[in-house]
């Protein structure tokens, strides 16, 4: 009955985001410790903050295990160099979507690895294990001595004093080792579960093709199966058995120093089996991630599999998946970059983030939120959410300077890159902002790079129209309302509504009139200056 309810719940929630607590410190453990040098790019914390990576992860995460969570997070943070094995993965996603029985059976298996202890499993192959101290051979001598003296006490009652003396020493060593033991009390029992789950999933012929060498990896890990079972028993005792039974076993373990001897014996063997453990971990994580992708697609109103090739971006009805009822837009970027103008709240930054998020999900999960999309395989950098670093006495402008300096360096890479910027150099004065902004934006487009940038400076649009396609977002303002349509429109923004919005919000009439007068004067001076330059030419 309980199993039937579980299956029904899994079927009914397929396609829906999880309602769960997310501990990102634990979720990120695998990613932070992994060597991702084989990737085209590891997304920086800065870019992930700009594009709301944690929220994106929580939206895409439909996994059933903690291992799947860690594997999916690592996948989202790494842009791969190629689409290795993607055809097989798509075949599996389709099968998992259509075959409810197979999918729910696998989800039930994966849920066996859904306790927080599973987050620490990656430490078994990513971190150096504790090494025994130089005097550790003395521990084995004490263990044997305890056994011999206990046997001899049957024939000579005086030996009981020797037993007691050795026991006191062993008891101290036993509790000295507790700290070492607790470090592995969660992860090693999870390894036993991981192995069983992997074997059960691998019985499916299609899924077994993901890791042809899985059986060999399991066989190697099985060499320490019996010793690891001790940790499984220890973990169970702490939660299930009576205190009296636990106390008796604790005395026996202390007398013969079973815990330190077994612990360091297992760690020595596991240290030589890290690659095999990681193979099993990645296999289970990949399967869980593929179910997650299947659920993500099933629950999306509009999604597509990206066409990844060439140097252009062609997006039809692209939208931001984290924004409910998000207005979609279409754009083609070919041999030029994109400069967006428009007022605040009109949709510029959201559109830029939509591009960034879809490039991430497209290149990592082979899934985009659009009717159709073509994107290059490229690196992604951003300067959207910048703030003062008060702890290091750095102003907003200085933080922005450092961020864009890194972009300039990244733009020289042989790999094609895309740069996302919001209001470049808005931390400084108008003249220098426009001058520096034009120079930087021209520089970033070298080496076939693509730039998406928003600005309030219409002058930049005039200066960059040979290198950038111009688009804008606009709103309608009347005496009573502001209406944003969030639709991307070609060309630069021509209507200025900032002062109208001040009027709409009840600013004093004389203040509004003065602002209008100053605006007209500045516009007139600019027109005169422009005509003078054209006359000189």
Identify whether residues 230 and 328 lie together within a single domain.
Answer: no
pLDDT of 281: 97
Same domain for 324 and 292? Answer: no
359 & 403 share domain: yes
Confidence of residue 138 (pLDDT cuts 50, 70, 90): confident
Shared domain check, 38 and 56: yes
Structure confidence at residue 282 (pLDDT): 97
Neighbours of 325 (CB within 10 A): 6
> Residue 21 sits in a domain of what CATH number?
1.10.1420
CA–CA gap between residue 438 and residue 522 (Å, rounded): 21
pLDDT classification of 40: cutoffs 50, 70, 90:
very high
In this predicted structure, the answer to whether residue 458 has a pLDDT above a threshold of 80 is yes
Distance CA 262, CA 361 (A): 45
N-terminal to C-terminal alpha carbon distance within the chain: 87
Does residue 513 fall inside a structural domain? Answer: no
Q: Among residues 263, 298, 333, which one ends one of the domains?
A: 298
**Structural domains in the chain (count):** 2
The count of other CB atoms within 10 Å of the CB of residue 85 is: 12
Question: Is 531 inside any structural domain?
Answer: no
Q: How far apart are CA 89 and CA 207, in angstroms?
A: 9
- Per-residue pLDDT at 227: 63
Q: Are residues 289 and 398 in the same domain?
A: no
Same-domain check for residues 358 and 453: yes
In a domain, 521, yes or no: no
Alpha-carbon gap, residue 218 to 431, rounded angstroms: 66
> Considering the domain boundaries, does residue 224 fall inside one?
yes
Q: Which two tokens stand for residue 194?
A: 């991981």
Q: Would you place residue 534 in the very low, low, confident or very high pLDDT band (cuts 50, 70, 90)?
A: very low
Local confidence band at 149 (pLDDT 50, 70, 90 cut-offs): confident
Predicted pLDDT of residue 393:
43
Structural domain includes residue 165: no
Q: Is residue 146 in some structural domain?
A: no
pLDDT tens figures, 265-283: 888 888 889 999 999 999 9
Q: Which domain holds residue 11?
A: 2-134+175-298
Same domain, 288 and 409: no
Count Cα neighbours of 229 within 13 Å in the Cβ-side half-sphere.
Answer: 5
| High-pLDDT (> 70) share of the chain, % | 88
Q: Are residues 262 and 115 in the same domain?
A: yes
Q: Please tell me the distance from the alpha carbon of residue 103 to that of residue 206, in angstroms, as a whole number.
A: 13
Whether 8 contacts 107, CB under 8 Å: no
Under a CB-based contact definition with an 8 Å cutoff, are residues 88 and 96 in contact?
A: no
Consecutive H or E run containing 417: strand 417-422
Model confidence pLDDT, tens digit, residues 514-532: 877 877 676 656 555 445 5
């Amino acid at each position: 009955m309980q199993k039937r309810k579980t299956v029904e719940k899994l079927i009914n929630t397929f396609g829906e985001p999880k309602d769960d607590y997310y501990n990102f410190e634990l979720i990120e453990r695998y990613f932070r410790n992994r060597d991702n040098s084989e990737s085209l790019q590891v997304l920086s914390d800065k870019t992930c903050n700009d594009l709301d990576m944690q929220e994106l992860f929580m939206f895409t995460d439909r996994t059933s295990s903690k291992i799947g969570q860690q594997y999916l997070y690592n996948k989202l943070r790494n842009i791969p160099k190629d689409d290795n094995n993607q055809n097989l993965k798509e075949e599996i996603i389709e099968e998992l979507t259509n075959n409810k029985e197979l999918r729910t059976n696998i989800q039930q298996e994966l849920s066996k690895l859904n306790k927080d202890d599973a987050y620490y499993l990656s430490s078994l192959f990513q971190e150096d294990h504790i090494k025994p101290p130089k005097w550790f051979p003395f521990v084995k001598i004490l263990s044997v001595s305890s056994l011999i003296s206990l046997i001899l006490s049957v024939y000579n009652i005086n030996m009981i004093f020797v037993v007691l003396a050795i026991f006191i020493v062993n008891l101290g060593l036993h509790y000295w080792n507790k700290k070492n033991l607790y470090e592995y009390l969660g992860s090693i029992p999870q390894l036993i579960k991981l192995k069983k789950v992997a074997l059960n999933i691998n019985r499916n012929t299609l899924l077994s093709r993901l890791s042809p060498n899985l059986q060999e990896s399991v066989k190697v890990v099985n060499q320490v199966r019996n010793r690891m079972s001790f940790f499984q028993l220890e973990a169970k005792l702490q939660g299930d058995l009576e205190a009296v039974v636990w106390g008796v076993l604790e005395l026996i373990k202390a007398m013969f120093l079973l815990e330190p001897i077994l612990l360091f014996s297992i760690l020595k063997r596991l240290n030589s089996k890290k690659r095999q453990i990681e193979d099993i971990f990645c296999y289970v994580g990949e399967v869980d991630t593929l179910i997650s992708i299947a659920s993500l697609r099933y629950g999306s109103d509009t999604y597509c599999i990206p066409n990844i090739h060439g140097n252009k971006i062609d997006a039809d009805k692209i939208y931001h998946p984290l924004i409910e009822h998000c207005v979609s837009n279409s754009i083609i970027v070919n041999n030029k970059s994109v400069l967006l103008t428009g007022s605040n709240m009109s949709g510029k930054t959201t559109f830029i983030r939509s591009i960034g998020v879809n490039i991430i999900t497209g290149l990592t999960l082979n899934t985009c939120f659009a009717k159709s999309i073509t994107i290059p395989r490229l690196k992604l950098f951003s300067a959207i959410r910048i703030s003062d670093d008060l702890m290091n006495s750095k102003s907003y402008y200085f933080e922005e300077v450092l961020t864009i300096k890194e972009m300039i360096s990244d733009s020289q890479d042989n790999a094609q890159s895309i740069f996302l910027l919001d209001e470049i150099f808005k931390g400084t004065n108008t003249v220098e902002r426009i001058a520096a902004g034009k120079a930087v934006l021209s520089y970033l487009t070298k080496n076939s790079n693509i730039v998406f940038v928003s600005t309030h400076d219409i002058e930049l649009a005039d200066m960059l129209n040979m290198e950038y396609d111009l688009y804008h977002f606009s709103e309608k303002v009347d005496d009573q309302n502001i209406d944003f349509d969030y639709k991307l429109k070609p060309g630069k923004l021509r209507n200025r509504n900032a002062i109208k919005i001040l009027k709409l919000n009840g600013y004093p009439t004389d203040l509004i009139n003065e602002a209008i007068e100053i605006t007209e004067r500045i516009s007139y001076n600019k027109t005169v200056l422009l005509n003078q330059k054209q006359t000189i030419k």
